[in-house]
Amino acid sequence: MLSEEQIKKYGEDGYLLLENLFSEAEIGRCVSEFEKVASVDSPELIRESESGEVRGHHGAHLTVPFFDRLVRVRRLLEPARQVLGSPVYVHQFKINAKRALVGEVWEWHQDFLFWKEEDGMPEPRAVNFGIFLDDVTEFNGPLMVVPGSHREDLYDADPVGEGTWESTLAARLRYRISAGTLADSTRGSRIVAPKGKRGSVLMFDCTILHASTANMSPHDRRMLFVSYNSTDNPLSEVPRPRPEFVAARDFSPLAEVVHGSSLLDP
């Protein structure tokens, strides 16, 4: 549960770093389960455009029981419900691989712009949790954010690509932010790159501007992202809905799992 001070800071900055939220054993299980699904070719896999290495995987909570439990733990659900003021469901679940020396950039963008235009999400009543599966340093492509940018209107982003759901996940993002727009957003603000040990969690608003650089280190920088949407904010119908493993259309509120102090407990 977040303290009043944490809720205030999240509201002001649009992000919050929660250190040591998951144990080494829990993170180890996350990594092993991810590497299993990443080793099997499937539509859920996204690959780097140059190297062909795995870039990410979507929707593993729909097929892997451990990840289904993960999205239902109180450590994530309660902060999500606190900042959104309602029950929640998982809109999106993904793991970004960011492999050593070959992990490419994620361009500057706002998640809600994708969710609004592609999925029919009415309001920005969603929150992201990025779980560090590896230590995040200044060298291995940390997530960068512009504090306070979530309090502005949606930024302009001219869509590129063919309009397929695959184009919304490619290295050249369909709704990327221009250099001029980024410069405007950082006037009076700054760019920060929260870093920490594996097991830490970066909680951030769905409208905050964010990006990540290439991984120039000899170590992977894997991150697991759970995006919760308010059950009061269900998606509207769209002409070409993205697959369920990319954008869920089951708006049932999540119930907490019953287990011991660890996700590894029965």
Does the pLDDT at position 48 exceed 90? no
**pLDDT for the residue numbered 113:** 93
Q: What residues pair up with 182 in beta bridges, in sequence order?
A: none
DSSP conformation letters of 167-184: GGTSSS-TTPPPHHHHHH
- pLDDT reading at 258 higher than 80: no
SS3 30: helix
pLDDT of residue 208: 97
What's the rounded Cα separation, in Å, for the pair 176 and 158?
A: 7
Residue 166 DSSP symbol: G
Query: What's the pTM value of the predicted model, to 2 decimals?
Result: 0.94
The predicted pLDDT at position 169 comes to 66
- Give the model's confidence band at 51: pLDDT under 50 very low, under 70 low, under 90 confident, else very high: confident
234 CB burial (10 A radius; 0-12, 13-18, 19+): middle
Domains defined along the chain, listed by start? 4-230 (2.60.120.620)
What are the angstrom distances between the C-alpha of 159 and each of 10, 31, 121, 165, 240? 29, 34, 17, 13, 16
Mean pLDDT of 223-234: 98
